[in-house]
Structure 1
Amino acid sequence: MKSLLLRYLGNDLRRNRGVTIVLLIVLVVSAFLMASGALVMERLGGSVGRLSAAARPPHFLQMHQGEYDRRALDDFAAAHPEIADWQIEQMAGFDGQQITWTRPGTESRGDLSESLIDNLFVKQSAGFDLLLDRADAPAQPAAGEVYAPVGYERLFDLRTGDVLTVGAADTGVRLRVAGFVRDAQMASSLSSATRFVVAPQDFARLQQSTSAPEVIIAYRLHDTAQIDGLQRAYESDSALPKNGQAVTEVMIRLVNMLSDGLVAVAFVFAGLLLIIIALLNVRFVMRGTIEDEIHEIGALKAIGIPQRTITLLYLARYGAMALLACLIGGGLAVASLGALTSGIRANFAEAPVTWLTVLAPILALAALLALVLGISARAMRAVRRVGVVEALVQGRTTPARHARPVRRAKSTKRARTSAPSVPARKSAASRKSHLAPSRGGRLNLRLALLDLRAERRRWGLVPAVFFLAALLITLPMNLLSTFESPRFVTYMGAPQSDLRADIQFVDPAAGTGAEAMAKLRGQLDRDSRVTDVKAFATVLAETPGEEGWEALRVGIGDYSDAGLVYLSGSGPRDGQIALSAFNAEKYGVGPGDSIELRQAGGTTRAQVSGVYQDVTSGGFTAKLQGEPPAEAERWTLFADVAPGADPAGVSADLDAANPAATVIPMREYVRQTLSYVTDTLRTAVIITLVFGIGSAALISTLFLRLCIGRDRQKMGVLSVLGFSTNEIIGQLHLKMLITVAAGTVLGTLVAATLGERLVGALISLAGLGLTQLTFIPQPWIVYALFPVLLIGAGMGGAALVAHSLRGADRSGWLR
């Protein structure tokens, strides 16, 4: 039996070399993507877990800017025994343009003005929330040294030995870069800040240059299941500092895993679609093989070979092919793991190798092998019904259907005496053919359409494959263009505009933040290049929650015409407030309901005007109509530029004239904020595009190769009837064009409709603040370029295969 299997496999490989190679390539790519996706997700989880174990990030933290009551914090910690440890971490914040760098011995220099996130200088913590160096040890800089964020090493090409100057060039604090740190709390670009580590004496000097003090109140608990309860208790205590964002450990891990996790998800998604494509082709090839080898199957049954042995012969072919593909694809995944996880290792940690490291790709590959064997076994059911006579004599896999017996009409007296009144039917020879009206190209088109209708089960494979390929390349591109679009700011709780200016860290010598905001507002109003200026301030209010008053971050300004997109309702007007989707769900309110607000001036009620989406501040924000108060700690201004003006040039001029503000084009703000996500998505788009187009070309080549081998007699008949080789090839091209175009168009439409809902549902489950995602596609790419590439790949494969018909011996087609 073993020798029979080996001889059969060897003969089949020699006879069907092209088909085997194409199927093997598709299966190898599927195995590579599935194994790579599983490995990347396992490595990412292990890296984040190892960094968390070494750095011990807070289970709950509250950022706060301004003065605070230390005794209230002591009393709160004493009243909650679930707290295992807590600390107050002081920070000194600086705008990126206040931090410059030089490289001794060279002319290389620059600043961090391109970074929009907050640059926070801290001392190394003593107990938890540690910032780790390359060796996963707490960084301990000496006096005059600084450890910079590892993300800035790549973003600004910082190197060990560079000198940072924090503040003015002549009076600022000079620090030598001694290394780079990993930050378990602020590792992602989605984080609103990043941290530098300095020695205590340097921190004291830096702190003298900042305005309002900024701190992180951090807590570690005995049981992480009590995080939500502690957060509610903290927010309900009015004496505790809350002028900043509250963050939980779950949110930290989610944000850290999102960016690199998208690549793993894209790999698995692409792998699943390619597996479906491969399985469709395995089923098609196997059915065709059974039909082509029906006489051999009949002969095996006639000489007494058991059904189980015959099935095993065929399953061995595809099982061996799938096993070989898993071995090759798994090997390629392991070989490329270093390149795929380089960013993960740089931002987080080197994940330890565990049993899950080995098990994850093995399970993914085992699933692929099981699917191939399962679909092959299902296709082999047809062999069980094959009779020896039908197989050897009639050459078919199913018994012939016997004609229904014709009942003899009962004779009647009327029938014997009178002729039927209906006219006699024309004979088959006298009836006109359906092809009679067709001439030239129309005849070829009609023949192609008739053949597609007659062979619709076989040709249905092509539109199915190109439908899946269109989904594979379109969905990642639509998601990338959505995140890269300037209109995405509406998902960040901000109006769509050309410019954004933020005022947060103000040098005490320059006055208060309110004065800096008034100065910038005046410049914007006087600049003829700037139009439609809007100013907003962020303050902290309180509203009743499940366990008393809870903190609510509120943006105050004129939102009546801010251009925000609302899931329901509209923008707030006087006496109204708009809530983010998470806050609306948290407090169980919607448009028309009202909530109670408590601020320094007293308690008021505001009617909810609408609900919007927001990915900032954990998704818990609100918008209140009113004049921005002078006592706010953070201001944001939005503006458009006049037609013909360059947003980059306008922002550069305003940024240089206002040291207390960061002015930047909105497109650049979105790019930097989502840089980790868009960079990894761009990689996923390239990968899925290459594999999608490649698999489409391979499958179209494989399909036509099999069809031509099976339809040689049909082509021979057309040749005898006078059709030229070019006309026969033209019919093949027409059939391929119709099926390829149908699958591509349908896949593109489904990706833009149902695909949008599917991706939106997955992102909403991630808990980022988005409950409903609307794609912002680049139409010329997804509706023009990608379909043309797919159709071109299909037609290119058809042309390559059809070329073999030119110069062929047409007389041999009828043999």
Structure 2
Amino acid sequence: MFFKIVKNDFIRQKTVTISVFLFITMAVILAATAINNIANLIQGMSDFQESAVPADITVMHAGEYDQAEIDQFAELSSDHIAMQETMVLQNIDGSNIHFGQNQSMAGTIQDISFVVQNKNFDFILDLDNEKLDVREGFVAVPVYFMQQYDLKIGDAITVKGGEYEIEFVISDYARDYEMNASLTSSKRFVINQNDYDEMLEMQAGELEYLIEFKLNENGDSAVVQNAYNEAGLPANGPILEGKIFMMFNAMSDMAVAIVIIFISILLIVIASLCIRLTFLATIDEDIREIGVMKAMGISKKDIKKVYLNKYRVISVAAGIIGYLFSFTAVNLLNGNMRLYISSDLSGNLKYVLSLIAPLLVYFMIVLYCKQVLKRIDKISAVEALRQDSMERGKNQKYTLPLLKNKFLSTNIYMGLRDVWKRFKLYRLLFVIFIVCTFIIILPVNIYNTINSPGFSTYMGIGKHDMRIDLRRTESITEDFIKLQEELKNDDDIEKFAPYITSSYQVKNAEGSFDYINIETGDFSVFPLKYLEGRAPEGEGEISLSFANAAKDGLNKKVGDEVTVMAGGEEQTLIVTGIYQDITNGGKTAKAHTSLGVNEEAVLWYIVSIDLADGVDIHEKMDSYQNAYSTAQVNDIKEYTQQTLGNIIEQMGTVVVGGIAIAIIIAVLITALFLRMLLSKDMSQIAIMRGLGLTSNQISHQYMAGTMMVLLFGIILGVLVSNYLGEFLVSIAMSSMGAAKIEFVHIVWQTWLLCPLVLVIAVGLMIFMSCKVAVKDDLSVVLRS
């Protein structure tokens, strides 16, 4: 009997059933796709790490060093260190690397190094995650540059340095666990040992060293770093732990997965609201039948089962279909993963973890249905048989009389009045429009924020027009001084500020010394937005990045003291501010120029520039690029896009997907709601027809009310996206070094274009759904 009742209910409510089924299916597809993506990421990162065998500690050093001292240190620390290897990098400026038709890599923000494959660990891999073995005359190009410059296997690249010139043929694309991501500022080209020796003999590039350690299974990274520092071993550069490379590799795919999971949660909320709407309408329609069943002695549990079984079947069917479709949908998102991490994502982990989505959605839907069905407990058999509906018989206050309407047409006024009087009925539609708007606007805001020049403030950089990075050459100090003199005498330059970043030893919370990058200069010229406090303005002042000031960093607050080793002496600096920075693992600092420059550990020289009004930025960039061939000249937008390229590209896909999903949901829910509403009001519609109102007049009433709900839902949805969205994104970004994100709002997109698309799509559905007419005999409807 129950099966027959459920079957009849399916047939009676095809539109409702199909709509709920689609929402649950989409929720499962998105949730399973996100989990699938995370499972692929876990599997891919595991395989990548196993093949690459990355270093647990990497010391970047420029300058002289004694390998024998490092070998002795590794031997004395054998309780922690399993292997040690030093990779020698030959740094080549991008302007000296040519390809295609007179193209070069001059515009890249990356430091380019030519290396040979390591022997023991930190291997650079091909696209099959096999250890690269490059033949003489060939080169393996990092995936980052392959993608950025569209380099293909068999293309030639030419390296020029002074009188040195050699041509390589691209034989492979290189996956580099330590320098793969766009967030890392260096990339390694792999060549044959003979070619490398020839470049070394010709002194083609500046030398830099990666002093790397692979720890034992129980090795303690902190102990090794402290011992290394105390031994006074070379560290003219940052010391990086292996976990930071894992974070950089996973960041873009993880960020996209988090956004998708959030959208899927909103879809589950919409599906639940849709089910609630359906249940209330169905129970209202079946009130007499419920009364009859109760009078016959059928238990409340069995009556609930009649309604619940339908949604159990829907949830199971939607879960299976959503689970299967997720493996197709995930291919739209894991292109970046297949390119940068692993081409083979055929592991079994995703099949197991992806089951979490349909199971979770099933239990959430069933629990929610049980909660809604508690309303049946309140229906007595006698009252149910006496009433036509659950709401009938209640005294309703008469409000908003038609006589008081002086401004709107009668049909529009009656439609708005209906919304006001029955807001409890319309509020579900109102909430769904808010959620749909949120699904559209939030990804758009995230995309616009990370794609804007203003995002540089979250990278520890004040907002400016262009920047010049001087690469490490023999004449770098002279070039830096000369550049500042030229900028002072250039009328096209409105203002500029030079900055020097060096590596310093800083006392940590345990009392030992760590290395951090500290930038010195005048930070009032291009100010940052500080979470707390202000920029360092006087002698003995320093500001810390959010990650550096956190408990797992230096554990400092504004007003605390920081001990820095500078000029061979300990200096005590006062923390004046805390800012946001997602670069270099989020751990940076800025100090007043009185700290001095650690000449032996200078990492880079940067000059930030604002141009005068009317100056062509590209002409000015070309001018300084030609004058300083070894420098890197970029506008700030290009710098941000090169650093966050992968995340920006994938977020663009999420924006398109979010808009499509939200429109489908809004259109289907609107059709479902209006079908329910018109069915519920059929007697009232028949009465209005009997009083002489035309079908168009009645339609306009429903259209006016629904459009008002849509417009107010969109307005509130945009506001929620702008403010609540900022809060949620800030929470997600806090682990990366940015604790307070402020969205960049492109008003014509968030307040005009996106709402207009939603209004047009939903408006057409409202227009089609509200074409009501009682075609049957009015007396039949009135008697019913």
TM-score bin (small chain): over 0.9
Once the two structures are TM-superposed, the CA of residue 517 in structure 1 deviates from its matched residue by 2.1
The answer to whether structure 1 residue 52 and structure 2 residue 49 are counterparts is yes
Which consecutive residues of structure 2, in runs of 5 or more, have no partner in the other structure? none
The secondary structure found in structure 2 opposite 1:148 is: strand
Instruction: Please give the alpha-carbon distance, in whole angstroms, between the structure 1 residues aligned to 2:405 and 2:640.
Output: 58
Match of 1:425 in 2: none
CA distance 1:225–1:436, shift in 2 (3 Å): farther
Task: Give the drift of 1:645.
Answer: 2.0
What whole-Å deviation, never above 9, does each CA across 1:199-228 have from its counterpart, x for those lacking one?
Answer: 112122333435542111111112367223
In structure 1, what is the Cα distance between the partners aligned to 2:403 and 2:495? 69
Structure 1 partner of 2:215: 221
- In the other structure, the counterpart of 1:784 is 752
Q: Letter of the aligned partner of 2:618 in structure 1? A: A
TM-score under structure 2 normalisation?
0.92
* 8 A Cα contact 1:555 1:623, kept in partner: yes
- Which residue identity is paired with 1:82? H
Counterpart residue number, 2:612: 642
Tell me, in whole angstroms, the C-alpha distance in 1 between the residues paired with 2:198 and 2:212. Answer: 24
Contact residue 516 and residue 660 of structure 1 kept, 8 A? no
Alpha-carbon deviation of 1:669? 0.4
Query: Could you say which residue in structure 2 is the equivalent of 1:373?
Result: 366
Equivalent positions of 1:248-647 (< 5 A) are 248-303=241-296, 305-350=298-343, 353-397=346-390, 434-438=401-405, 441=408, 443-506=410-473, 511-545=474-508, 546-575=510-539, 576-585=541-550, 586-600=553-567, 602-626=569-593, 631=599, 632-647=602-617
1:155 aligns with 2:141: no
Q: CA deviation at 1:695?
A: 0.8
Whether 2:651 is the aligned partner of 1:686: answer: no
Name the structure 1 match of 2:29: 32
Residues 1:775 and 2:743 aligned together: yes
Alpha-carbon distance in 1 for matches of 2:534, 2:525: 10
Cα separation, 1, equivalents of 2:172 and 2:544 = 43
Q: CA deviation at 1:122?
A: 1.1
The reply on whether 1:662 has 2:632 as its aligned counterpart is yes
How many Å separate the matches in 1 of 2:329 and 2:555?
48
| Kept after mapping to 1: 8 A contact 2:542/2:576 | yes
CA–CA distance in structure 2, aligned partners of residues 741 and 812 of structure 1? 37
Inter-partner Cα distance in structure 1 for 2:242 and 2:751: 41
Residues 146 and 198 in structure 1, CA contact (< 8 A), matched pair in contact too: yes
CA distance in 2 between partners of 1:687 and 1:151 (Å):
25
Per the TM alignment, residue 83 of structure 1 is displaced from its structure 2 partner at its CA by 1.1
Matches within 5 A, 1:100-249: 100-102=98-100, 110-168=103-161, 171-207=164-200, 208-210=202-204, 212-223=206-217, 226-234=220-228, 236-237=229-230, 239-249=232-242
Q: How many residues align?
A: 773
Contact 2:137 2:169 in 1 (8 A): yes
Change (3 A) 1:738 1:548: same
Closer, same or farther: CA 611–440 of 1 in aligned 2, 3 Å: closer
Q: 1:308 to 1:573 in 2, by over 3 A?
A: closer
CA contact (8 A) 2:503 2:515 kept: yes
**Bigger shift: residues 545-554 or 703-712:** 545-554
Structure 1 residue 601 displacement after superposition:
6.1
Aligned-partner Cα distance in 2 for 1:771–1:276:
27
**Helix, strand or coil for the counterpart of 1:172?**
strand
User: Is the CA contact (8 Å cut-off) linking 1:736 and 1:794 kept in structure 2?
Assistant: no
Question: Could you say what secondary structure the match of 2:339 adopts?
Answer: helix
Query: Cα gap change, 1:674/1:224 in structure 2, threshold over 3 Å: closer, same or farther?
Result: farther
Bigger mean CA deviation after superposition, 801-810 or 661-670: 801-810
Give the letter aligned to residue 401 of structure 2: H
1:709–1:202 CA distance, 2 compared to 1 (3 A): same
Alignment-derived partner of residue 782 in structure 2: 814
Please list the CA deviations of residues 107-137 of structure 1 after superposition, one character each: whole Å capped at 9, or x if unmatched. Answer: x563223421111111101111101113322
1:91 aligns with one of 89, 92, 110: 89
Gaps of 5+ in 1: 103-107, 403-427
Contact 1:387 1:399 in 2 (8 A): no
Moved more, 375-384 or 706-715: 375-384
Partner AA of 1:518 in structure 2: I
Q: Partners in 1 of 2:582 and 2:597 — Cα distance?
A: 24
2:59 to 44, 58, 62: 62
- Structure 2 SS opposite 1:791: helix
1: distance between equivalents of 2:399 and 2:647? 64
Deviations 1:255-309 (A, max 9, x none): 1111012222222111110110011001110121111122333344445555444
Query: Given that residues 648 and 664 in structure 1 are in contact (C-alpha distance below 8 angstroms), is that contact kept between their aligned partners in structure 2?
Result: no
Question: 1:388 and 1:219, CA in 2 relative to 1: closer, same or farther beyond 3 A?
Answer: same
CA contact (8 A) 1:516 1:661 kept: no
Q: Which segment drifts farther, 309-318 or 23-32?
A: 309-318
Q: 1:432–1:567: structure 2 CA closer, same or farther, 3 Å change rule?
A: closer
Deviates more, 1:712-721 or 1:145-154: 712-721
Deviation at 1:325, TM superposition (A): 1.7
2: CA distance, partners of 1:774 / 1:231? 36
CA distance in 2, matches of 1:163, 1:519: 36
Deviation string, structure 1 residues 32-60 (Cα, Å, up to 9, x no partner)? 11111111110011111110011111112
Letter in 2 for 1:29: M
State the partner residue of 1:406.
none
SS at match of 1:166: strand
Contact 2:336–2:646 at 8 Å: present in 1 too? no
Deviates further, 461-470 or 296-305: 296-305
Q: 1:459 is paired with a residue of what secondary structure?
A: helix
Change (3 A) 1:695 1:109: farther
Change (3 A) 1:730 1:172: same
1:751 and 2:744 are equivalent in the alignment: no
With over 3 angstroms needed to count, the CA separation of the structure-2 counterparts of 1:613 and 1:441, relative to structure 1, is closer
Aligned match of 1:411? none
- Quote the residue 2:12 is aligned against: 15
Would you say the 8 A contact 1:487–1:496 is kept in 2?
A: yes
Quote the offset at 1:813 in angstroms: 4.7
Give me the CA root mean square deviation: 2.7
| Aligned equivalents of 2:463, 2:280: Cα separation in 1 | 56
For 1:358 and 1:309, locate their aligned partners in 2 and report how far apart those are by CA, in whole Å.
36
Instruction: Within 5 Å, give how 1:723-738 maps onto structure 2.
Output: 723-738=693-708
Amino acid at match of 2:427: G
Corresponding residue to 1:799 among 732, 755, 767: 767
Instruction: Check if 1:701 corresponds to 2:671.
Output: yes
**Which amino acid in the other structure matches residue 478 of structure 1?**
N
> Quick check: 2:400–2:417 contact (8 Å CA) kept in 1?
no
